[in-house]
Chains A and B, each alone.
Chain A
Amino acid sequence: MKRIAHIRIWVFISILGYLIPLGTAAQEKASPTPVKTRITLSYFVDNNNTSMVSARLSHKLNRRNVYDQGIELSLFLNEISDENLLAKEVTNKRGIAEFYLTERFQEIQDTLLNYKFYVVFNGNDSLKNKTSSLDIGKANLEMNLIEEDSIKYIEAHLTGVVDDTLRSIENEDLKFFVQRTFSQLPFGGKYTSTDKNGLVKIEFPNDIPGDESGRVEIVVKLVDHDDYGNIEKMKEANWGIPLVINNSELKGELWSDRYNAPFVLVFISLAVIIGVWFTLGYLVWRLIQIKRIGNKLS
């Protein structure tokens, strides 16, 4: 009897264990609760003074960030209204929507010292609506390349809005790079903060390779600033060590590029290929002769 009672309890627990998740699943299906979302905003100004607002939409799932793809976000300037709508963009697979601020914003930009951006997500069945804002002050970063006694210097000047006036910004870290093929090579050391005139002057290293004429692209950046966002400027200079390309070692090797293939290999391959295909061409001609003979007899 005791054993039967045990079995009954296990059967009951098993059925319960099966039904509870089913019930939960049914509830989830019937009324899915939209989850909270988050919008992270960044502001960028590139070398051509083109501004861009980047918005990343995400939500939490099992304590992990999940980026939401294919969601339309709207960008407004200063207030959320139809007149102030700057652009609409759809998030990519990393959950990012990039709003490049072109003509319309450029017109307004000149008349304003501070901008407030709103990015609005209207929500859907599974994600809650969300609005995030970003305050940005107008700022400018300039770079001058100076040569003094054959020493090369880069001078960067940062100005920005403080108390509604545009002035030089003191004590801000700027970062200097040389553009390489796949990434940017930092230089300039630790002490690259602006002085009371908003200036940083650093020496350009004399051991950086450039292209064949010594050309390098020098980049200066203000990164993730709370008030001004990200600003990047770039200038070219013939300050690098000219690159000497010596392909002599690679010529005529099996591992060379296609233009430096070993002559013997190219010659033999082409001779064989041409020989075989010429023979096949000859046989096609013979087939045409078969047809001609047939046509004559017809």
Chain B
Amino acid sequence: MAPENEKFVEEMKADLLPKKFGMLGKIWFSFLVVLIAIGMYSYYTQLRDGLVVTGMRDYVSWGMYISDFVFFVAVSLVGSLITAVLYLLNVKWRAPLTRIAEIIAVSNIVFAGLIIVVDMGRPERVLYLITHGRIQSPIVWDVIVVATYMTISLMLLYIPLLPGLAFCRDHMKNLPKWQYKMYNALALGWKGTKEQFEISRQSVRILAILIIPIALCIHTVTSWLFATTYRPGWDSTNFGPYFVSGAFLAGAAAVIIGMYVFYKKYENYDRYITPLHFDKMGRLLVLLALIYLYFNVNEYLVPAYKMKTEEAIHLHELVVGRYAFMFWFAQGMGMILPIIVLLFKKGRRPLPLFIISIVVVIGAWIKRYLIVIPTMEHPFVPIQEVPDFWMHYTPSFVEWSITLGSIAGVLLIITAFVRYFPILSIWEIAEERGIDLDKLNTKLESK
């Protein structure tokens, strides 16, 4: 091995092994735990008293939980983009980003599954979806595809992590016994042999191919939950690609936020996540925002041209009515602003890109809220003489706290992962920089 490579390997060893949290990390961890505890208490009150504690009534029976579900599924799609699409396109610069993307995907898809159970008035009946489900129902397709996507995402996180787990097992010092046992068990006796690497590479390749159609399915099927229902705002054949493109945008922004946090807060991570990576992700974000904007124009312009009565009411509410602020924020800040700012190189520097990405993620959540709620408030056949509060939906404290608790849960999974596992893939970075893995492994073994 060339001496400069040897030096690089030693540096990686020092830099990339997981480290204990400092004071800030502990405060962050505790903050998330508190948010989750509040969310869990709210869920307890919902279980005890029923869905009446939410703002949902007969008109709006899909509320904030469903928009959370769509949001979580959307963000989780980034795993397939970074890990699979860029992998198959042989894009080298993606190496330090893959694990960040995958843990974001896994944590989000886990909470997408959980929030659907939260939305159920009788969660103990969740198994009925399988025992009484009809294969013709998009809800059953969604259950199948969410479970499959979650499994593939977990495997895509786990298999490339094997060398990292072995690395932790062999090189981390003063480990508590349980932690060593955990690494030892999870590493599956990884020795870094040529054969093991070959199996690992082959498995990742298969998963990368498999996850792309499944990822497209998961969000297309989620969109069909709406599009197969005859309601203003949802009655569209455009919904599948509209959802998928929006999901890639939200997910890519989430990865940039993760990249920036590690780039800034972890010592020496700027050696691996460089301004070049931000620049590339910024370009990708512009492309995704442009595609999403195109589908948005389709989604709103065509019904606006025809102005059928119910569609007109729905559009009026969005554009100049009750939801105008949220609508224009989601469109302007969530799509148009990133396109304008990130076209300039200065806009793609880490800090501006990070800020833009936060705005995009907030815009993405608002967008999902706008997809679900205003439509529910304006059915084609309204119920007559209903109380006013049935017609207008305002999320209750229970819904807000469960939503915040779920977001905190997603962040807690990522935080806990970073605490115990290498968030940057040592071997992929080595490969990206042209270091022979066999030699690298032999070298590390002999140390």
Interface of A with B (CB < 8 Å)? 254-258, 261-262, 265-266, 269, 273, 276-277, 279-280, 282-283, 286-287, 289-291, 293-295, 297-298
Contact = CB atoms under 8 A, between A and B. Distances in A.
Nearest to B194: A293
A135 to B, nearest CB: 42
B269 to A, nearest CB: 29
Given A280-B210, A294-B191, 6 more contacts: A254-B136, A258-B135, A265-B135, A280-B148, A283-B155, A298-B191
28 contacts: A255-B136, A258-B134, A258-B136, A262-B136, A265-B136, A266-B135, A269-B135, A273-B144, A279-B206, A279-B210, A283-B159, A286-B199, A287-B159, A287-B188, A289-B199, A290-B196, A290-B200, A291-B188, A291-B189, A293-B189, A294-B187, A294-B188, A294-B189, A294-B190, A294-B191, A295-B189, A297-B189, A297-B193
Nearest to B144: A273
A261 B140 CA distance: 13
Contacts of A291: 188-189
A126 B159 CA distance: 67
A297 B189 CA distance: 9
A257 B210 CA distance: 31
Contacts of B193: 293, 297
A290 B189 contact: yes
Given A258-B132, A287-B188, A293 B196 contact: yes
B9 interface: no
A272 to B, nearest CB: 9
Contacts of B121: none
B212 to A, nearest CB: 12
Q: Decide if the interface of chain A is mainly helix, strand, loop or mixed.
A: helix
A137 B233 CA distance: 65
Interface string B431-446: 0000000000000000
Interface in B72-107: none
Interface string B187-217: 1111101011001101100110010001000
A276 to B, nearest CB: 6
A240 B235 CA distance: 45
Interface string B121-164: 00000000000111110000100100010011001000100100
Contacts of A293: 189, 191, 193, 195-196, 199
Contacts of A298: 189, 191
Contact of A258 (B133, B187, B207, B210): B133
A277 B190 CA distance: 25
B300 to A, nearest CB: 29
Contacts of A262: 136
Contacts of B207: 283
Most chain A CB within a 10 A radius of its CB, from B136, B199, B202, B214: B136
A283 B195 CA distance: 15
Nearest to B135: A261
A295 B210 CA distance: 29
Given A287-B159, A290-B199, A294-B188, A276 B135 contact: no
A262 to B, nearest CB: 7
B155 A280 contact: yes
Contact of B136 (A256, A286, A294): A256
Contact of B134 (A261, A287, A289): A261
Contact of A276 (B134, B148, B188): B148
A255 B137 CA distance: 9
Contacts of A295: 189
B203 A283 contact: yes
A283 to B, nearest CB: 5
A277 B148 CA distance: 8
Contacts of B151: 280
A274 to B, nearest CB: 11
Nearest to A262: B136
A258 B131 CA distance: 10
Contacts of A254: 136
A269 B190 CA distance: 37
Contacts of B135: 258, 261, 265-266, 269
A172 B193 CA distance: 96
Contacts of A273: 144, 148
A95 to B, nearest CB: 20
Contact of A297 (B136, B162, B191): B191
Given A283-B203, A290-B190, A276 B162 contact: no
Contacts of A265: 135-136
Task: Give 6 nearest A-B pairs by CB, closest first.
Answer: A294-B189, A258-B134, A291-B188, A254-B136, A297-B191, A261-B135
A277 B147 CA distance: 11
B169 to A, nearest CB: 11
Interface string B53-74: 0000000000000000000000
A42 B48 CA distance: 34
A280 B159 contact: no
A116 to B, nearest CB: 42
A147 B141 CA distance: 55
Contacts of A276: 148, 210, 214
A269 B148 CA distance: 13
Contact of A280 (B141, B152, B196): B152
B145 to A, nearest CB: 9
Nearest to B195: A293
A262 B135 CA distance: 9
A36 B210 CA distance: 72
A260 B151 CA distance: 30
A265 B162 CA distance: 39
Contacts of B190: 290, 294
Nearest to A292: B189
A117 to B, nearest CB: 36
A262 B148 CA distance: 23
Given A283-B206, A289-B199, A295-B189, A261 B144 contact: no
Nearest to B133: A258
Nearest to B228: A254
B397 to A, nearest CB: 25
Contacts of A255: 136
Nearest to A298: B189
A297 B152 CA distance: 29
A185 B296 CA distance: 54
Interface string B209-234: 01000100000000000000000000
Nearest to A283: B203
